[in-house]
Every structure is written in structure tokens, then in C-alpha cells.
């Protein structure tokens, strides 16, 4: 690497991580070529039609902020969601569960296509970045290193660079090449649940038909539906159901069965979904996979990040957030060791791998919380205690959800806190049963019950957040 020549990178995948990583590297003076198998969305739009949204939280915002894109995305694209709105199975009032004792804490609903386009435009405007759409990558020469693509005419394109980055998603061809190397660990596991998207349009005269500043959940034991708001006042709903069995996709053979099933289990949503049966028949049912692998890097010149390194299930709303945190960390490691790329990649993996494993576990656990526990009174009571204790003790008792969604404390630290808090909350709930009213006396009782247990909570060093600083 000569000091005068800019360093060069090939990025495979112009998705969320690929575009953000291109922004980071271009701003640091690299020359970057991004290869994407799909057509250019600037010309043709994203395939898929209706709005599909994602929850963007503090880690993702920090990742965007490192490339000076946070304000643009949050102000232009985001709808804050301050808690879960639980839709009960039987008729009864909706229950709002705030995400935090701090009313300004919120996760943000953003359009996946809109965000990807914003990042693509931002990267394309930077000097030294070129995009090559309709160029699927099918192999990597790990020694050169070079990525190997086909262009739209079918000709082979070989792109060599100082650094090859696989930002190519859960079924990454770059990772597939690494899988063929000696002692590469790899596992993938599918949930027995899949997902299908449905749609709630705006009210006839415009406006939202449900509370817009909430993530709506219909918890139904082993299955659930969620809905996130869009900027056009519609909602994107997602069913997370088993493929087979009861309350399952395979159980509904025709439109009449779909209609009857929704009337029985999601009654309040049916009048809001005029195209329910058409959407159900037309929209695909997709699978949910967790991918773990190691090492993420090879030879000091090839690395995977984002879903390519750690695809996780979406129940903590963290896959993209984690991918953006990867981008920020990788850029920081490369900037910190400009003459030691191999050392920088090793440091990136050392920092990120335990945290990616932790969020993969927490995402699986949160599925149980959302589909099952969130609707149960004992769980709702523990959440109430958790928030009251958080308010009382402040940072000393920040809950796992807050650490994951509203802080940049490493995921592994948040996971440990979650386990400790869970034990404490169960003990407090046992000692102080649910009251008739949540008054001062109740508050004093839970604070007193928690007092002798505080020693079981490991303090979180403020330095916990340091790892994402550039």
C-alpha cells in the first residue's frame, strides 16, 4: 500500500450495509466499486411494490451519524414509535406498553426502500464511488483478492482491490467462498415460523386508522401479527406464523378460510384491511434464518459484515441497526490502523462477533416475548415494575430493551443485564403481588423489595459505549 495512492475496496451488495459502508470509506478517501445483482433502483424503483418498513433505533442512528446521514434519514423518513400497542385476542381495550420510562425514547419506523435509496444517493455523490448494478457476484479469488461477477451481457468481470467486503446479505456469495476455507465455522437455523406482509391503507379521507406512534402487536401465543406505520398514513402488517400446524399458513387453503380465521383471531384488524384475502394470496410467505459464522475475515483483505456475517431473526428490530453499527466499527478500525489492514479487520471481528452472537440470541428470545408473553398479565406486571424501578434508580437499572434500542452499550452487556433484571423482577413480583392501584404505597413496596437484590445487577461502565466511537 503506497501512501500516495488511495486505498481501494470492492463492496458486494448495494443494500443497507453496502451503501453505508461505501459512504464511510469514500469519506476516508478510499476508491470504491460497489457491485449489486439487482437493477438500479434509481432508474426502476425497488421491486416489491408496497412500502416495507424497518425499525431504526439508536445504534442504527449512530451508524448513520458517523457518515453524517442521521439527520437526513430521521427527519425525512422516520415515524417515532414510543411503545407497543397490544391488541388482545378477545374484545377488550388495547394496552399501550411504553418502551421506556423516558417518554422521549422511541424506535423509528422507516421505509426500507426509501432508506436504501437515500444511502445509495449519498454514496453515489461522494468522490471515488462507482456503482455497478445487474452485476451478480458468484465467486471471490481470496488470494488476489478479487471479486468475480457477470455483467448484463454475460461477460465475466473481475474486480481486484486492497479490500473485498461482502455486504451481500444472509445468503452471501462472499461468505459462501469463505465457507470453503479450512476451519471455517458455519451454522444456519430456520425458525418453524415464516412471515408474510399485509397492508392497512390510510383512512378514506387520509390519516392513520390506528395510533401512528406505536408498534402494534396482536400476540396470539405461538403466532402474532405486527403493524408499523408508514409516512403515507398506511401500515405495513407482518404475520409471523408457523408454516404448518395450528394458526399456520398451511392451514388456510382458500380465501373464505382466511377471512373466517382473521375474523376469529384478528377481529379488530379485519375492517381495516379491505384487500386482506387478495394480499394473503398474492404476497409470498418467506422464511426466517439465523446465520452464525467465523472467522468473518480472510487474509487481511476479505471480510463480511451485516447479514452476510450474522443474519438474525427480526424480533428485536436490530438486524439493520447491527449492520450499521458494523459499518461504523469497521470504518473506525480501518482509520485507527491505516497501515495494518489485517490488524484492523481482526480488531473489527474481535469487537463485533460476541455482540452479534448476543443480539442473535436476544432476537430469538424476543419472539417469545412478543408473540406470547406480551399479552400475559404476569409479564405486563413485571414490565410495570421494571419501568418503575428504572425511573427510581435511573442508569443503575436500565432494562435490556433500553440498552439494546436506546443506547450503544455493547449487545453482550445488554444481554447480561437482561438476565440479571429478569431474575430480579421475578423476585420482586413474587414479593409484591399486583395491586388494585399503582399508587405510592405500591411504589414504595417494590423499591423496598428490590433493595436487597440490587447487588445482583452488574454495574455498566460508561465505557461500555466507547466501542462505537470513531
| Shortest Å distance, C-beta 281 to ligand FAD | 19
| Shortest Å distance, C-beta 283 to ligand FAD | 12
- Per the structure block, which three cell numbers stand in for 177? 467462498
From 35, 249, 367, 406, residue interacting with ligand FAD (rule: CB under 6 A)? 35
Q: Which of residues 44-73 bind ligand FAD (CB under 6 A)?
A: 54-55
Q: Where are the extended beta strands (E) located within 283-410?
A: 286-294, 297-298, 302-304
Nearer to ligand FAD, 35 or 381 (CB): 35
Calculate ∠ Cα 248-254-255, nearest 5°: 105
Nearer to ligand FAD, 17 or 429 (CB): 17
| Shortest Å distance, C-beta 26 to ligand FAD | 17
Residue 219 φ/ψ, nearest 5 degrees: -75, 130
CA-to-CA distance for 204 and 258, rounded, in angstroms?
24
# residues near ligand FAD by CB under 6 A: 31
Is 413:59 a contact under the CB 8 Å cutoff? Answer: no
Nearer to ligand FAD, 365 or 420 (CB): 365
CA-to-CA distance for 305 and 322, rounded, in angstroms?
9
- Per the structure block, which three cell numbers stand in for 351? 469487537
Q: Which of residues 236-275 bind ligand FAD (CB under 6 A)?
A: 238
Nearer to ligand FAD, 17 or 450 (CB): 17
Q: Which of residues 199-238 bind ligand FAD (CB under 6 A)?
A: 238
| Shortest Å distance, C-beta 438 to ligand FAD | 31
Confirm or reject binding of residue 195 to ligand FAD (CB under 6 A). Answer: yes
Q: Which of residues 299-328 bind ligand FAD (CB under 6 A)?
A: 306-308, 314, 317-321, 323
Calculate ∠ Cα 464-469-470, nearest 5°: 150
CA-based nearest residue to 115, from 324, 326, 356, 352? 324
Q: Which of residues 118-157 bind ligand FAD (CB under 6 A)?
A: 136-137
Phi-psi region of 233 (alpha: psi -120 to 50; beta: other; left: phi over 0): left
From 9, 30, 37, 410, residue interacting with ligand FAD (rule: CB under 6 A)? 37
| Shortest Å distance, C-beta 425 to ligand FAD | 25
Nearer to ligand FAD, 308 or 412 (CB): 308
- Per the structure block, which three cell numbers stand in for 416? 447480561
- Please, what's the b/e burial string for 258-287 (b: 16 or more CB within 10 A of its CB; e: otherwise)? beeebeeebeebeebbeebbebbeebeeee
- Per the structure block, which three cell numbers stand in for 215? 408498534
Q: Which of residues 164-183 bind ligand FAD (CB under 6 A)?
A: 167-169, 173
Binding site for ligand FAD (CB under 6 A): 12-18, 35-38, 54-55, 136-137, 167-169, 173, 195, 238, 306-308, 314, 317-321, 323
Amino acid at each position: 500500500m503506497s501512501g500516495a495512492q488511495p486505498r481501494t475496496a470492492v463492496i458486494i451488495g448495494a443494500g443497507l450495509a453496502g451503501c453505508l459502508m461505501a459512504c464511510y470509506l469514500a469519506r476516508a478517501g478510499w476508491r470504491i466499486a460497489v457491485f449489486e445483482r439487482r437493477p438500479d433502483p434509481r432508474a426502476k424503483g425497488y421491486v416489491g411494490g408496497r412500502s416495507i418498513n424497518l425499525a431504526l433505533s439508536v445504534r442504527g442512528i449512530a451508524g448513520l451519524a458517523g457518515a453524517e446521514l442521521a439527520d437526513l434519514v430521521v427527519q425525512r423518513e422516520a415515524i417515532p414509535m414510543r411503545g407497543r400497542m397490544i391488541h388482545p385476542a378477545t374484545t377488550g381495550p388495547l394496552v399501550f406498553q411504553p418502551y421506556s420510562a423516558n417518554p422521549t425514547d422511541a424506535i423509528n419506523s422507516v421505509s426500507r426502500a426509501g432508506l436504501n435509496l437515500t444511502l445509495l444517493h449519498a454514496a453515489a455523490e461522494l468522490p471515488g464511488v462507482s456503482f455497478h448494478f445487474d452485476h451478480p457476484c458468484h465467486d471471490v479469488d481470496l488470494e488476489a483478492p478479487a471479486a468475480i461477477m457477470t455483467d448484463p451481457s454475460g461477460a465475466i468481470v473481475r474486480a481486484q482491490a486492497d479490500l473485498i467486503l461482502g455486504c451481500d446479505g444472509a445468503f452471501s456469495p462472499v461468505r459462501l467462498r469463505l465457507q470453503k476455507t479450512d476451519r471455517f465455522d458455519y451454522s444456519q437455523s430456520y425458525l418453524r415460523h415464516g412471515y408474510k406482509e399485509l397492508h392497512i391503507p390510510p383512512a378514506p379521507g387520509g390519516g392513520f386508522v390506528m395510533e401512528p406512534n406505536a408498534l402494534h402487536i396482536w400476540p396470539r401465543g405461538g403466532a402474532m401479527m405486527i403493524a408499523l406505520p408508514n409516512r403515507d398514513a398506511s401500515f405495513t402488517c407482518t404475520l409471523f406464523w408457523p408454516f404448518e400446524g395450528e394458526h399456520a399458513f398451511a392451514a388456510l387453503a382458500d380465501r373464505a378460510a382466511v377471512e373466517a380465521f382473521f375474523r376469529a383471531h384478528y377481529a379488530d384488524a379485519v375492517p381495516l384491511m379491505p384487500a386482506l384475502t387478495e394480499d394473503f394470496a398474492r404476497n409470498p410467505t418467506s422464511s426466517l434464518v439465523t446465520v452464525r459464522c467465523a472467522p468473518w475475515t480472510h487474509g487481511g483483505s476479505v471480510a463480511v459484515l451485516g447479514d452476510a456475517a450474522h443474519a438474525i431473526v427480526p424480533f428485536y428490530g436490530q438486524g439493520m441497526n447491527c449492520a450499521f453499527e458494523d459499518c461504523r466499527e469497521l470504518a473506525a478500525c480501518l482509520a485507527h490502523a491505516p497501515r495494518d489492514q489485517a490488524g484492523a479487520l481482526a480488531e473489527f471481528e474481535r469487537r463485533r462477533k460476541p455482540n452479534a452472537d448476543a443480539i442473535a440470541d436476544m432476537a430469538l428470545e424476543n419472539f417469545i416475548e412478543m408473540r406470547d408473553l406480551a399479552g400475559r398479565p404476569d409479564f405486563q406486571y413485571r414490565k410495570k415494575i421494571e419501568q418503575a424501578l428504572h425511573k427510581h434508580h435511573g442508569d443503575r437499572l436500565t432494562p435490556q430493551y433500553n440498552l439494546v434500542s436506546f443506547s450503544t452499550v455493547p449487545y453482550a452487556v445488554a444481554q447480561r443485564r437482561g438476565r440479571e433484571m429478569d431474575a430480579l423482577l421475578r423476585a420482586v413480583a413474587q414479593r409484591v403481588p399486583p395491586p388494585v392501584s399503582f399508587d405510592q404505597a405500591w411504589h414504595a413496596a417494590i423499591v423496598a423489595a428490590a433493595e436487597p437484590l440490587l447487588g445482583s445487577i452488574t454495574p455498566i461502565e460508561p465505557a461500555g459505549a466507547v466501542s462505537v466511537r470513531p
